[in-house]
Chain A
Amino acid sequence: MITARGITKRLGAFALRVEHFSARQGEVVAVLGPSGAGKSTLLKLLAGLLAPDSGEVRREGLWAYLEQDPYLLDRPVWANAAFGRRLHGESADRARQATLYWLRRVGLLGLAERPARDLSGGERVRLALARALAVEPAGLLLDEPTANLDPANVARVEGLIREARDAGQGVVLVTHNLFQARRLADRALFLLAGEVVEAGPAPAFFTSPRDPRTRAFLSGEMVW
């Protein structure tokens, strides 16, 4: 479980304020909103990469964070996948054995010895997901993991997110893709200009949003 209470964060002229946010194990929470709404800032606060100006974030277990354009180490694919486990003190041999399983899951086992810099965009995201999943986190914090991916890779990444949820991991998914949010989310939250406009269970959120701004956003209108 990850919980945020009364968090605020000011970054220049932008200010984020979230009274309450939570994500449990075994559910996908989609964070929606236009560019500049504060989605990525919220995710970084949840990940502990940014400290809130006020309020608190509580994480039970490790919640692995995945940036939109994941950074891959200048090492082979397997060493990238094993990196998180190495950080937690596992030997190179054990980490390698453990991460081969995750590379198979994301369809990169055949590329294990290749330099990570040779991977395509979709493969990079899948490797980053394998690296995050390999540390066996309580949950995943994903910042637009399928942005700029082709449909086949989008489907593959979405499959991995579903598998993670079904395996009991929590997922907070920042996405611009409303269709993806509908496909994956158990709950959804709409952020606008740093404020939570609406949050709730996915079916009701998408079919009968209460706030006119949420309705406008979901129908594809520009909202600020």
Chain B
Amino acid sequence: MSEVIEITLRSLLVSGLATLLAALFAVPLGLYLGLKGSGRAGRAAIYAGMALPPVVAGLFFYFLFSRSGPLGALGLLYTLPAMVLAEALLAFPLIAGFTLAGAAERAPRVRTLVRALGGTERQVLPTLLVESRRVVVAALAAGFGAAISEVGAATIVGGDIRHATRVLTTAVVLETRRGNLEAAAALGAVLLGVALLVNAFLVMLEARR
């Protein structure tokens, strides 16, 4: 039981940090592109990134952090930071894409309103962020959902090491392979519960404003 709690907390930590890290860059980028109204190449790249397979993200960081890779000296392979980075890469296009879509819809009207009341162009972006907050929360939920539910990247860069990098998804795969279907199902239920709880928290956070 204590190991399940340990794995659950690790899953929350890795996916939570990955979501925050991705959001740090993805939300401003999505708002900026939404406000700009053009930038088709950037938009296309973000939307294409939404389809990034987790194993490809995992492979990318595997090559980067493997002993012979360019960042091999950092010794990050099979560590939680490597998992955070891989999951952040998966969450990034989702958060940026959702934010962009929501911001692009509102941006012209928000800009008109700000300028119509004598505001400056620099005041448009913060206003747009506040106006798009519900979309941003949905984007964070989507990003977190992608991060906590993926298994390919976590396995490749984390290695599913007991008491070190094992998370809920990799544990489910392991128990299924061992034939412990009851344990796998229980872990799956925990995973589902965690995802639901985090999303409920985000919805509550959004409703408070």
Contact = CB atoms under 8 A, between A and B. Distances in A.
The answer to whether A and B assemble together is yes
A67 B116 contact: yes
The dominant DSSP class at the A interface is loop
Given A67-B112, A71-B109, A135 B117 contact: yes
Given A48-B115, A87-B114, A132-B116, 11 more contacts: A49-B112, A62-B117, A64-B116, A65-B115, A71-B109, A71-B112, A84-B117, A84-B119, A87-B118, A88-B119, A132-B117
Contacts of A137: 118
Interface of A: 47-49, 62, 64-67, 71, 73-75, 83-84, 87-88, 131-132, 135, 137
Given A71-B109, A71-B110, A74-B134, A49 B118 contact: no
10 contacts: A47-B115, A64-B117, A65-B115, A71-B113, A73-B113, A73-B127, A74-B133, A75-B130, A132-B116, A132-B117
B131 interface: yes
Contacts, number: 47
A104 to B, nearest CB: 20
Given A71-B110, A87-B123, A64 B131 contact: no
Interface residues of B, number: 16
B118 A135 contact: yes
Contacts of A74: 131, 133-134
Contact of A66 (B114, B115, B116, B134): B116
Contacts of B133: 74
**Which residue of A48, A67, A87, A131 has the most chain B CB atoms within 10 A of its CB atom?**
A87
A99 to B, nearest CB: 12
A73 B131 contact: yes
A64 B118 contact: yes
